Amino acid sequence: MGREIHMFFFPFFAHGHIIPTVDMAKLFASRGVKTTIVTTPVNASFFSNTIQRSRESGIHIAVELLKFPAADVGLPEGCESTDLLPTSPDENFETMMKFMQAVQLLQEPFEKLLREFKPDCLVADLFFPWATDAANKFGIPRLVFQGTSYISLCVMECMRIYEPHKKVQSDSEPFVVPNLPGDIELTKSQLPDSLKQDVETDFSKIAKAAREAELKSYGVVVNSFYELEAPYADYFRNVLGKKAWHIGPLSLCNRENIDKAERGKKSAIDEHEFLKWLDSKEPNSVLYICFGSMTCFTSAQLKEIAMALEASELQFVWVVRKQKNNEEDNDWLPEGFEKRSEGKGLIIRGWAPQVLILDHVAVGGFVTHCGWNSTLESVCAGVPMVTWPTFAEQFYNEKLVTQVLKIGVAVGAQKWVRLVGDFVKMEAIERAVKELMKGDKAEEMRNRAKALAEAAKKAFEKGGSSHSELNGLIEEIGLAFSIDQ
């Protein structure tokens, strides 16, 4: 080919979308592809350290900025990420819709960048449905980045086609997702509101636009690896007829260089002291609890978790993110909890270096919301999970972890509730964490998780399934470019 391929990467403005997209850009750049990440000033600041370290290691990634039109839709200046929106569920829905309006307004300035740079390929997040039309105007192939699992993509499509949830008598009656391998069983209460309601909602409109844009796109890039969910990778491509490449786990890009600047965020703890604390613990003895950057539990729910941890007598690291309100910071903790937990448990208020924690030999279990980034990071670390899905596609990911891979124990959350999740009582939490860490099948689950971690590394290495998929994708883009010329 006469010159190097130039690819644009356009992540949605949320940490859970930015992190894997930046990793993906790094991955393509390490294979000699010219890469440019398009984002806004505030979002660029979140990963500036990562870009700087990449440049120092000889991998150059360019960044192009778009002004985020916050004021145009009534948002405060600087509100450029969903993570910066108010966390109260009532406020969040209305504010989220304003945010999505602002995202829509970016189409014109984004097209100016495409006209100026004329990249050979665009990888844009599914939440930019208009990116397909924008790319098609300039004859640029658009790849959709699906930041979730193959199993979730398959479940969502089968639910749309067959509508099994419309055939049950109640919200709690189980049904099997039709025609999908593995007899995946769900209930209506575990489905998103947009799927349960016959009326068109703002979110269902966005989902519909994203689906239609994907049909017109060049294909789909998936952050997964074949050995993790082979039946669903095959189903997605061969039965549903989707053009897709799995090039993950993208978090493995960072495994050789994990430090506190890894995600462009300052840790809420002294990492040196924290690692010394973990070093003093026995292998597989510490339970890690974290629910991502979006889920915000009520004080009542946090209290149930605290009581369950105390009753379980397990050692723990607990990352807490609670709803913004006027309550005292510690009013959700049982009296004397932190004093009684000294030496046994740590509470981190704010951001914590998750990959670093999961990779530590002392950590033997992870209580997670089943967000796909967290699930993959746990798989890569060989750590089994207590699954506590709250919303989005998390209930589908839970089925992969507990039912298909058998590396997790469900806490028993039954209801899909945006941002706050279903309320789970102390007894159920205690049962699940004990089963994961000390139960009859704990060792079996841990061994399976360790085997999957090895499979993930092999998939990512030269000759592995993800490595080969990435090579094939780069070759295909290069071939399309040379034909166009």
pLDDT, tens digit (0-9, with 9 covering 90-100), for 162-205: 999 999 999 999 999 999 999 999 999 999 987 877 767 777 78
485 or 477, which is more confident: 477
Assess contact for 47 and 264: CB atoms under 8 A. Answer: yes
Is 17 an annotated catalytic residue?
A: yes
Burial class of 311 by CB neighbour count within 10 A (0 to 12, 13 to 18, 19+): middle
Which tokens sit at 329? 């910071």
Which tokens sit at 353? 């270096």
> In 10 A of CB 352, how many CB atoms?
21
Looking at residues 315-336, what average pLDDT do you find?
75
Least confident of 116-125, 257-266, 350-359, 457-466: 257-266
- How large a percentage of the chain has pLDDT more than 70? 92
- In degrees, rounded to 5, the angle at the alpha carbon of residue 362 between the alpha carbons of residues 442 and 453 is 65
Give the pLDDT confidence score for residue 199 in this predicted structure: 67
Residues written for the chain: 485
Looking at residues 203-219, what average pLDDT do you find?
88
Give the pLDDT confidence score for residue 296 in this predicted structure: 85
- How large a percentage of the chain has pLDDT more than 90? 76
Looking at residues 361-383, what average pLDDT do you find?
97
Find the largest Cα–Cα distance for the chain. Answer: 71
pLDDT above 90: residue 260: no
- What is the C-alpha separation between 375 and 18, in angstroms, rounded? 16
pLDDT above 60: residue 90: no
Least confident of 345-354, 358-367, 442-451: 345-354
Which tokens sit at 185? 């069983």
Looking at residues 432-456, what average pLDDT do you find?
97
pLDDT above 80: residue 28: yes
Per-residue pLDDT band at 330 (split at 50, 70, 90): low
Exactly one of 15, 23, 120, 125 is catalytic; which is it? 125
Task: Please tell me the CATH code under which domain 6-253+461-484 is placed.
Answer: 3.40.50.2000
Give the pLDDT confidence score for residue 264 in this predicted structure: 45
Per-residue pLDDT band at 10 (split at 50, 70, 90): very high
Alpha carbon distances (Å) from 240 to 145, 149, 183, 237, 287: 17, 15, 17, 6, 39
Domain ranges for the chain, please list them: 6-253+461-484, 263-455
- What is the C-alpha separation between 295 and 388, in angstroms, rounded? 11
Give the pLDDT confidence score for residue 258 in this predicted structure: 44
Task: Please tell me the CATH code under which domain 263-455 is placed.
Answer: 3.40.50.2000
- In degrees, rounded to 5, the angle at the alpha carbon of residue 61 between the alpha carbons of residues 56 and 62 is 125
Burial 192-215 (b: 16+ CB within 10 A, else e): bebbeeeeeeebbebbebbeebbe
CATH topology agreement for domains 6-253+461-484 and 263-455: yes
For residue 249, cis peptide bond before it (omega within 30 degrees of 0) = yes
pTM, to two decimals: 0.93
Specify the DSSP class assigned to residue 241: -
Per-residue pLDDT band at 19 (split at 50, 70, 90): very high
pLDDT above 80: residue 257: no
φ, ψ for residue 98, nearest 5 deg:
-65, -40
Assess contact for 332 and 360: CB atoms under 8 A. Answer: no
- What is the C-alpha separation between 12 and 39, in angstroms, rounded? 8
Which tokens sit at 42? 């505030």
Return the SS3 of 52: helix
pLDDT, tens digit (0-9, with 9 covering 90-100), for 221-235: 999 999 999 999 999
Task: Report the half-sphere exposure of 112 (CA within 13 A, side-chain side).
Answer: 8
Per-residue pLDDT band at 83 (split at 50, 70, 90): confident
